[in-house]
Amino acid sequence: MMEIKREKFRNFREIVNFPIDVFVCCASFEDRSKAISERIGKSQIRTALVCKNQDFSHVVDDNFDALIDHFGLKAQPVVLDTTAPIMTADNLRHSIEKEVDGGASKFLIDITTFTHEEILVLLKIIPLVVPNGGDVVFCYNPAQSYPGASKDEKGWLSKGIGGIRSVLGYSGLYQPERKSHLIVLVGMESERAEKLIDAYEPSIVSLGKGLQESSISDTLHDVNNFYFKKLKSKYQHLDKFEFSCTNPLDAKDAILNQVRLFPDHNVVVAPMNNKISTAGAALAAMEMQQLQLCYAHANEYNVERYSTPSDEYIAFRLPDLWGV
C-alpha cells in the first residue's frame, strides 16, 4: 500500500526515517532545488548524488555549488543533459547502481527539479537496479507560487520548443491503421502544450486539469485554470478530465480511465503538470504498455521568475514500480 504524507517542513526530520544511505537531487535555477536538501544534515546520509544538467550550467551552477558545499565530502556530482537523454539515463543508472553495489538499500529521491523526462527515466531505472527489498522514498516540494505565470497574455514560464520526443523506455505501441489520441496533463506552460498539440495533430485531444483539492492553494489553481481555459478555447473538439496533483496512483487511474474512453487509438501522454502527476503518467504507461509518453523540450525558461518554494513537502513510496 502506498502511503502519502503531505507535511510542513518543521516535521521533516521526524517524518522522514533517517538515516538513509543515498539522497538523490537535481540542481536547478529554481531555489526549490535546495528546499529539501537544506533540511538534511550530512550525518543523516551516506552519499548525496547531486545531479546537474550541463546544458544549463550557466543558470544552475550557483545552486549546484551550494548543494555540493552543503553535503561536503558526501556529495557525488552526476552530469545530466536535457539534450542527451541516453547519456542522462546511463549516468543516472551507473551512479545509482554503484551505490547499490556498495550496499545501499535506503534511498530518498527529491524529484522537485528534475525535468519531467528525467523523472520518467528515473522511475524506469530504480526497479532495475534497486532490489525489491530496498526502501525508496520520493519527496517533492510544491511551489508556493509561479511569479512568471499570470492570468494575462504577458505571463510566461517557458518559450518555444526545441524538440518533441518519445521518452526513453516509454515508446509505447504504434499501429499505423489507428487514429491518434493525445492526452495532455496541463500545467502553467500553455505555449509548450499548444505547440505539442499542433505538432501531433491528433484525432482526439484530452486535456487534463489538476483537481482543486490537490492544489497547494486556490491562487495556484486559478492560474492553472486560466491556462487550461486558454488551451480549451483554441481547440474545439476535445475531451477534458481531472487528475490528482498529490497522489500518483490517483493520477494514474485518471489517465487510464481517459484512455479507455477512446479504445483502438494510438495514445500519447504528455505530462506537463507537476512532478507527482508525472509519476502517475509513468505508472499508467507501465500498466498499459501500449501508451507512449512524450516530452517537449523548451527553448527558454523564465529563470528569474519561475517558482518560489513552499514550506511543505510531499513524500511517498511507489511499490507499484516493482509490481507489488
pLDDT over threshold 80, residue 6? yes
Query: Which one is predicted more confidently, 207 or 191?
Result: 207
* Among 18-22, 78-82, 149-153, 155-159, the least confident range: 149-153
Angle among Cα 138, 319, 85 to the nearest 5 degrees reads: 55
Contact 9, 41 (CB under 8 A): no
Burial 33-69 (b: 16+ CB within 10 A, else e): bbbbbebbeeeebbbbbbbbbbebeeebeebbebbbe
Q: What are phi and psi of 2, to 5 degrees?
A: -85, 130
pLDDT at 163: 86
Average the pLDDT over 56-67 and give the result: 97
Task: Name the β-bridge partners of 72.
Answer: none
pLDDT at 55: 95
Query: Which one is predicted more confidently, 72 or 186?
Result: 72
* Among 72-86, 148-162, 274-288, the least confident range: 148-162
Contact 230, 222 (CB under 8 A): no
For 30-39, how does the pLDDT look when each residue is reduced to its tens digit (9 = 90+)?
A: 999 999 999 9
pLDDT at 154: 66
Contact 29, 59 (CB under 8 A): yes
The grid coordinates listed for 105 are 538499500
Average the pLDDT over 242-259 and give the result: 97
pLDDT at 139: 97
Residue 153's pLDDT band (boundaries 50, 70, 90)? low
Angle among Cα 301, 164, 182 to the nearest 5 degrees reads: 110
- The CA dihedral of 231, 236, 242, 246, to the nearest 10 degrees, is -20
**Parallel/antiparallel/unpaired status of strands 158-166 and 106-110:** unpaired
Provide CB contacts within 8 A for 198, sequence distance 6+. Answer: none
Query: Which one is predicted more confidently, 252 or 190?
Result: 252
Task: Name the β-bridge partners of 164.
Answer: 296
Whole-angstrom CA distances from 104 to 23, 25, 135, 181, 324 are: 11, 16, 10, 41, 21
Residue 19: cis peptide before it, omega within 30 degrees of 0: yes
The grid coordinates listed for 97 are 547502481
Amino acid found at 82: T
The grid coordinates listed for 137 are 522514498
Query: Which one is predicted more confidently, 150 or 258?
Result: 258
pLDDT over threshold 60, residue 1? no
In the block, cell 546537474 appears at 52
- The CA dihedral of 218, 14, 139, 222, to the nearest 10 degrees, is 0
Residue 137's pLDDT band (boundaries 50, 70, 90)? very high
The grid coordinates listed for 236 are 474545439
pLDDT over threshold 90, residue 127? yes
pLDDT at 2: 63
The structural domains of the chain, ordered by start, are 4-145+307-319 (3.40.50.11700), 158-301 (3.40.50)
pLDDT at 176: 94
Question: Within 10 A of 204 (CB to CB), how many other CB atoms are there?
Answer: 17
- Map residue 144 onto helix, strand or coil: strand
